Amino acid sequence: MTDAIDAWTVARPRVEDEAGWRPLFDGYRRFYGMPETDHGAAAVWGWLLDPAHPLEALLARDPAGRVGGLAHFRAMPSPTRGVEIGFLDDLFVDPALRGLGLGRRLLAAVGAEAEARGWPLVRWMTQDDNYRARRLYDTLARRTSWVLYESAPPFEGGGS
């Protein structure tokens, strides 16, 4: 199986990748309980193809062009450091291809992008119970002690 996975490449999305990207993006949104709307997917796909938009992507493709994994990332200002760092928004691999190394390869490619841009670090988050992904992340990164909050404006209490 190693030879087969070694044939996969990681590269920027192409217009013709949308049909392969979309089921992965929908799977990612489903995993996190997010709505799977055509409007939302079209917006994100448009962002990924727009060189002026901050959101970027890398896709894992087999030699036939099948998309098997995605990584969405962007620059993020770090005011305390006075530099930009990277932020990995989404990482998802086709469930049928998990355990073969595509997630690790996608993360390595994001890391290479970060190094080329001079980002001193890349941050990402996952749900606490995403044990499979955390096993991979624990081999590549340090888990922090930060607690994430979110609220819809106008921040009047009660969380949302």
What DSSP letter does each residue of 37-100 carry, written as one string? Answer: -HHHHHHHHHHHH-TTSS-EEEEEE-TT--EEEEEEEEEEEETTTTEEEEEEEEEEE-GGGTTS
pLDDT at 158: 63
pLDDT at 2: 47
pLDDT at 110: 98
- Written as tens digits, the pLDDT of the chain (160 aa) is 445 788 999 999 999 999 999 999 999 999 999 999 999 999 999 999 999 999 999 999 999 999 999 999 999 999 999 999 999 999 999 999 999 999 999 999 999 999 999 999 999 999 999 999 999 999 999 999 998 888 889 888 665 5
Quote the tokens at residue 157: 């209490």
pLDDT at 1: 43
What pTM did the predictor assign? 0.92
